[in-house]
Amino acid sequence: MRAIRVNEQGRPEVLSLEDRPDPTAGSGEVVVRLDAAGVNMIDVQQRSGAYTEVELPYTPGTEGAGEVDELGPGVDDLAVGDRVAFAAVPGAYAERIAVPAERLVRVPDELSTEQAAAVLLQGMTAHYLVTSVCTIERGDVVVVHAAAGGVGLLLTQMASRRGIGVIGTTSTRAKEQLIREAGASDVVIRGEDDLAAIVRERTKGGGARVVFDSVGKDTFEESLGCLARRGLLVAFGQSSGPVPPFDVRRLQKAGSVFLTRPGLAHYTATADELGWRAGEVFSAVASGDVSVRVHATYPLADAVEAHRALQSGTTTGKLLLRVDRG
C-alpha cells in the first residue's frame, strides 16, 4: 500500500509518499481501507517537531474514514464492507490502517465517508468543549479564538445553537462573514480590534464566562484578560506555539479564574463515551443543525501541499486527503 511517511521532523517537505507493507488485523483490530483522512493542526505540530511525543519514522494523521477490509480475531460486531470512521488513532495518511475495533464508529447512511472524515475529530472536540469541560448556560458569553478554523466553526455553531453568545476571533477581515454565519454575535480581528473592550461591552463589564483558546502563545494574555470573575480559560491547542511558564498567582489576580488544558482522548476514553459523542456529532450534521465546511481536498500524494495550506493561516474549515482506490 501507499502511505505518507515522516522520517525526520521539519518543514512540510519531509512528508514523503512511500510503499509500505499492508497492515494485518491483530486480535481485536480491524483493517480499514480508507477513502479520506482528515488533516489537523496536530499533524503539523508532530511533523514540525513542536510536539516531540512521536517516534520516527511514522505515518502521520489521526483521523479517517472508509470501509472495513479485514477483521481480526475477536471482532464480531463489524463486517467486511461496513463504513466506519475513527479519530485519535495514528497512521491515517495511508491507503489502509489497522484500528482497534473499540475505537471505530459506524458512519450513518445519511453521511458519506468523506463527510465523516471531515467532521469526526474536530466535531467531537467542539462537542466536548461545549458540553463537558464545564457548565455553560444559555445567555452566557464565550470567546472562541480561531473561529474560522475547523474546530472554531463547529464550536461556534454548537455553542450559538444552545443560546450561548459567541465572540469569535480571527486573523483577517476576510473570514468575518463566515464566522457570523456560524452564529457568532461579534467578530474580533486580532491585531486590529480590542478583544477585552468588546467583551466588556458585550457583557456589561462582566467578562467572558469561558475563553476557548487553540492559538496559545499569541493569544494567552488577551484570553486571560477578558475572563469574568471565576471564569475559565480552556487552552486546547497551540497553533502559534506553547504558552511560556507563568506565575499561577496571576489566576487569582485575574479574578480567581481557572485554566485547563484538555485533550480529546480524555473525553472519548471509553467506547460508550466515544459512541455517544460521535453519534451526537453525526446526527447534528445529518440533520443540518451543524454544517461542515471543507476548504479543500487533496490527493494523498499531495500531503505536502495540504500542510503548507494549513500552516498558511488562510484556510477556513477542514482540509482532507483523498485516498483513491486502485
CATH number, domain of 140, equals: 3.40.50.720
7 with 109, same domain: the answer is yes
232: CB partners within 8 A, 6+ apart: 133, 134, 209, 210, 211, 257, 258, 259, 260
Q: Kindly state whether residues 184 and 255 are assigned to the same domain.
A: yes
Check residue 326 and give its pLDDT: 58
Q: Assess whether 142 and 234 both reside in one domain.
A: yes
Q: Are residues 192 and 310 in the same domain?
A: no
Residue 112, domain member (yes or no): yes
Is 129 inside any structural domain?
A: no
148 near 156, Cβ under 8 Å?
A: no
Q: Are residues 235 and 198 in the same domain?
A: yes
Structural domain including 247 reads 134-261
276 with 190, same domain: the answer is no
Q: pLDDT 10s per residue in the chain (326 long)?
A: 999 999 999 999 999 999 999 999 999 999 999 999 999 999 999 999 998 889 999 999 999 999 999 999 999 999 999 999 999 999 999 999 999 999 999 999 999 999 999 999 999 999 999 999 999 999 999 999 999 999 999 999 999 999 999 999 999 999 999 999 999 999 999 999 999 999 999 999 999 999 999 999 999 999 999 999 999 999 999 999 999 999 999 999 999 999 999 999 999 999 999 999 999 999 999 999 999 999 999 999 999 999 999 999 999 999 999 998 75
Whether pTM exceeds 0.85: yes
Query: Cα separation of 73 and 76, whole Å?
Result: 8
Contact (CB, 8 A) for 303 and 15: yes
Considering 222, 239, 261, which residue would you say is the last residue of a domain?
261
Instruction: Identify whether 221 is part of a domain.
Output: yes
Boundary residue ending a domain (224, 241, 261): 261
Do 146 and 248 fall into the same domain? Answer: yes
Q: Is residue 266 part of a domain?
A: no
- Say yes or no: 193 and 303 in one domain: no
Domain end (from 261, 283, 303) = 261
Residue 53: per-residue pLDDT: 84
CB atoms within 10 A of CB 60: 27
> 91 and 163 share a domain?
no
Do 112 and 145 lie in a common domain? no
Q: Are residues 45 and 99 in the same domain?
A: yes
Number of domains forming the structure of the chain: 2
The CATH number assigned to the domain holding 39 equals: 3.90.180.10
Considering Cα of 295, then 108, then 263, then 137, what sign does the dihedral take? positive
Q: Contact at 8 Å (CB) between 307 and 108?
A: no
Are residue 184 and residue 225 in the same domain, yes or no? yes
pLDDT of residue 318: 97
SS (H, E, C) the chain: CEEEEECCCCCHHHEEEEECCCCCCCCCEEEEEEEEEEECHHHHHHHHCCCCCCCCCECCCCEEEEEEEEECCCCCCCCCCCEEEEECCCCCCECEEEEEHHHCEECCCCCCHHHHHHHHHHHHHHHHHHHCCCCCCCCCEEEECCCCEHHHHHHHHHHHCCCCEEEEEECCHHHHHHHHHCCCCEEEECCCCCHHHHHHHHCCCCCEEEEEECCCCCCHHHHHHCEEEEEEEEECCCCCCCCCCCCCHHHHHCCCCEEECCCHHHHCCCHHHHHHHHHHHHHHHHHCCCCCCEEEEEEHHHHHHHHHHHHHCCCCEEEEEECCCC
